[in-house]
Amino acid sequence: MQGKYHVIGWKEREEAGRRKDFGNFPSREEAGKFLHAAEGEHPDWAFEIEECSHPEHVLHQE
C-alpha cells in the first residue's frame, strides 16, 4: 500500500539530482520517525519529507 509521505535522501557531497526515495509512509509522524533513524545510520546523507500529490499514492480513508 502506498503512503502519502515520502522520505527522500541524497548524499550531501553529490548532486541533489541523485536523490533516493527511502520509502513512503501513511503519516508525517511515521515518516519523521524513519527520517530520524536514517539520519543516525547515514550521517553523510541529507533527508527531507515530501508530501506526495499523486492520487495513486495517497491513502484513501473510509
Q: What is the mean pLDDT of each run of 10 residues along the chain (62 residues)?
A: 79 72 92 94 91 60 35
Among residues 5, 8, 50, which one has the least CA distance to residue 30?
A: 5
> 38-59 burial by CB neighbour count: b if 16+ within 10 A, else e?
beeeeeebebeeeebeeeeebe
Instruction: Read off the amino acid at residue 32.
Output: G
Tell me what pLDDT residue 18 has. Answer: 79
pLDDT value of position 10: 85
pLDDT on residue 38: 93
Query: What residues pair up with 52 in beta bridges, in sequence order?
Result: none
Q: Where are the domains of the chain?
A: 5-51
